[in-house]
Amino acid sequence: MNRPQDHRQDTDRMLQEAEFYETQGLFDHAVLVYEAVLDKDPQNLKAQSRLVQLKFDQEVSGDSATAAMTGEDLSPRLALDLGLAYMGMNLYAEALEQFRKPLKSSPAIKNEHPRYIAVCLIRLHKPQ
């Protein structure tokens, strides 16, 4: 019996389902599916990352029926806060992505971000 393989295929199917819900604008359904994935596999970084992003988008928008904002739509301060949340979850690649976004659009905030970017890069390349 290929139980680990069956479990992995089921998780992959659920992730595809959640991504489909996201593309259709059904963010509440996507959140439920990502939570189900995390119930089965609490270490699934992709589900953790997407769940944090969707919940953050819902809080920012104030209405779960509205379309999720992309990272480029966030203010530099919100991108920084989201990056810090990812760092708290040890999701350094996602945090690094958030920290880099405001650098393109807001030169004034460049002073805060390099230290966080450095921490993420160190953690990403540190052997575990």
Sign of the four-CA dihedral 39, 24, 95, 58: negative
Same domain, 55 and 74: no
DSSP of 110-123: GGTHHHHHHHHHHH
Mean pLDDT of 30-37: 87
Higher pLDDT, 52 or 1: 52
Give the structural domain span for 97: 70-128
Same domain, 120 and 76: yes
Task: Determine the pLDDT at residue 61.
Answer: 67
36 pLDDT higher than 70: yes
Q: Using one digit for the tens of pLDDT, what is the confidence trace for 48-69?
A: 888 888 887 777 666 444 444 4
CATH number, residue 49: 1.25.40.10
Higher pLDDT, 109 or 43: 43
- Overall number of domains in the chain: 2
